[in-house]
Chain A
Amino acid sequence: MSISLTTTQKSGAALLLLLIVYAVFGPMLQEGDAATQNLSHIMTAPNSEFWLGTDHFGRNMWIRLADALQLSLMMAGLCVLTSAIIGVSAGVLAATRGRWLDRGLDAIVTMILALPGLVLVLIFAAIVPGSFWMLYVAISLIQWIEYFRVSRAITQRLTHSPEVQSSKLMGFGQWYIFRRHYWPAIAPQLFTIAAFGAANAILMMASLGFVYVGIQPPLAELGLMIVEHFPYYSDAPWLLAQPLILLALVVLACQLMGRGRTQ
């Protein structure tokens, strides 16, 4: 199945690709690593040795930003993948496998929705503090609902549609109907949800950094960097600006990708 992209989506994809290239290959272009400190060279402005300067521990910002970006992208990718698989399967099953499953899943969804997502993530993050994997579980736990609701709605609409009725009358089975009818209808929507979901996962991880329950040192994380660099905003504005701009760019790239023809 081919997805034809709008110009907006293409520019989003190009930006995302650029960011991925930086995250993966950026660190190779400079010596050193993201954790090594140099307390006698703190907060140097960007120069030929440190292309983006150093932070308040004298760490190389070029490498730290790339590392942080890697982490954010990985989180976004994993969350999207997991929640999409769970959400779509549950959504299709709920719409096709009888009332009780539907009601049960609906009850779970209402429960999760009734709790603000961030609170759920805070609790999960507190179970294993500073764990990437716990954040991943928590964010996925919130995000699958969107996929679930959309795939359930589409499937429900389709179960009584002529095309599915026609395939049933011709004797085709459930799996065939999923493959030929439900999935093709869900997939384009999925792309949009996934793009925005990725953006949200990145934003949520950054927000957790802000309330100190995100990733722990010395791992670089964009939200935490923003908080750490904030006190220096008048001494070293570039230090605060760098993670901010990078965060905005990666979220923007995802959101542009998700923007379909309608908007």
Chain B
Amino acid sequence: MSLIHIENLTVWAGQTELLAPMSLTLEKGQRLTILGQTGSGKSLLAQAIMGNLPSSLRTEGKVTLFGDEVNAKQRQRFWGHRISMLPQEPWNSLDPLMGAQPQLQETYQLVAGQSAGEARQSADYTLALQGLSDSGHKRVDQLSGGMAQRVAIACAMAGGASVLLADEPTKGLDVSRRDQVVEQLLTQSEQGTLITITHDVAVARKIGGHMMVIKAGELVEEGDAEQILKAPQHAFTQALIEADPVNWPAPEPSTQTDKRLLDVEDLTIGYGTSALTKHLSFTLDEGEVVGVVGDSGCGKSTLGDTLLGVQQPLGGRIKRQRQAAVQQWQKLYQDPTAAVSRAVSLRTLLEDTIKLHNIDRARIAPLMQQLGLTDALLNRNSEGVSGGELQRFCMLRVLLLDPVFLFADEPTSRLDPVTQRDVSKLLVDVAKQNGCAVMLVSHDPDLIAKRCDRVINLNH
């Protein structure tokens, strides 16, 4: 008897087909990885299997769980103790007002049917197993993303479900945390079956098993994960795999000028009285590309603000060795939509900049071409363009100001892998051409390795 068997499952919104027919069968101990970009319909598939699609959507096809054909309503009875789903963002999926331990305990008690005492013991044991003994009383806002995800996995499994669906279980996690979560999922899946939905090739590679690649609601490739990742057949799969930073070509070394731009000595950064990072010393030459890595919350963004003079350092010295105008020290933001006014068109914003600094208009067209921006794009506002286009527009504005220093704070983390690769490359290339030093922040060490001359690690 297969644990889960699906035949020609489709999802419709009115007359529009959102998800083309999908079929799959999983036995105990098997794993399935669904790979696809954001918005490709892979979460719809998970929700359709669970039976918790919004009422505005309609499904067709057959779902058989544990040998019984069950409709969406009937599947609700299986939630928790037969089939469970790990939602996308664990920090939104745990009760914001309740500690981790009670949320786990109640699952043992109310779903698995243990007595209060047993449930408490089970919860404590599980938390200890996950190395969270000291964090049981903490609320989700006091847990790190990785810890929250581990608590969520424990909750999802506490009811005894043998089928676990994990929807983007590593989204927004640092690489080290990501690997921990993947390990835990693999351990859990041994008793039953695991369906993982991800956009991250690295995660897919680690989990393996059977693999389905989905693009815009259509299945483009299916087979053994290892095989597909080694020899993708479909162009889309190939592009996805190539976009993984691991597979990027090695960087060309930048032309060193040996002209010092910045000296940083014994710098302490932070807010008020709490220091995030202490005793930081480094130098930066003109035109150099330096990567900045470190766990979340270690002060990567604060370093940027301090170097740019937006925030005062708590101690130490920053010496700008080159005299440059204020606007030549610039920054690129993680979320370009938050960094650009959406009130007016991009052209107006560009005109504002041109007028303020008397920029030669002749420079604009070539630069736009280089950045792959069309003139028509400028007629829209920031909400009317894609994240990649907007980040390139930000680069256009910044580059027009002849920057000598650019602090790029995870400029590509919100972009899909293909765009991430292109934009980060463009950024480094254009900066190098213009002799602008770049400090590139990322939580992905592979990306840093492929784009930067050297790395500053704030963890040490």
Hey, which bits of chain A sit against chain B, CB under 8 A?
Answer: 1, 161-163, 165-172, 176, 180-181, 183-184
Contacts and interface: CB of A to CB of B under 8 A. Distances in A.
Q: Which of B310, B335, B339 has the most A CB atoms < 10 Å from its CB?
A: B339
10 closest A-B pairs by beta carbon, nearest first, are A184-B343, A162-B339, A171-B327, A162-B333, A180-B341, A162-B338, A166-B339, A163-B339, A170-B327, A181-B341
Nearest to A181: B341
- Determine the main DSSP class of A at the interface with B: helix
B392 to A, nearest CB: 15
Given A162-B333, A165-B310, A172 B356 contact: yes
Contacts of B310: 165, 168-169
B326 A171 contact: yes
A170 B396 CA distance: 13
A90 B254 CA distance: 51
A180 B353 CA distance: 12
Nearest to A171: B327
Interface in B309-340: 310, 325-327, 329-331, 333, 335, 338-340
Given A170-B397, A171-B326, A165 B338 contact: no
A170 B338 contact: no
Interface of B: 305, 308, 310, 325-327, 329-331, 333, 335, 338-344, 349, 352-353, 356-357, 394, 397, 401
Given A162-B335, A162-B339, A176-B352, A170 B401 contact: yes
Contacts of B340: 163, 166
Contacts of B343: 1, 180-181, 183-184
A181 B338 CA distance: 11
Given A165-B331, A180-B344, A170 B339 contact: no
Contacts of A171: 325-327, 356-357
Given A166-B333, A169-B308, A180-B352, 6 more contacts: A165-B331, A171-B325, A171-B327, A172-B352, A180-B341, A184-B341
Contacts of B305: 165
A168 B330 CA distance: 10
B271 to A, nearest CB: 11
B378 to A, nearest CB: 16
B353 to A, nearest CB: 6
B329 A169 contact: yes
10 contacts: A165-B310, A166-B340, A168-B310, A169-B308, A169-B331, A170-B330, A171-B356, A176-B356, A180-B349, A184-B342
Nearest to B397: A170
A176 to B, nearest CB: 7
A108 B245 CA distance: 57
A183 B342 CA distance: 11
A170 B308 CA distance: 12
A57 B11 CA distance: 69
A253 B333 CA distance: 43
Q: Which of A169, A171, A183 has the most B CB atoms < 10 Å from its CB?
A: A169
Contacts of B325: 171
Contacts of B397: 170
A176 B353 CA distance: 11
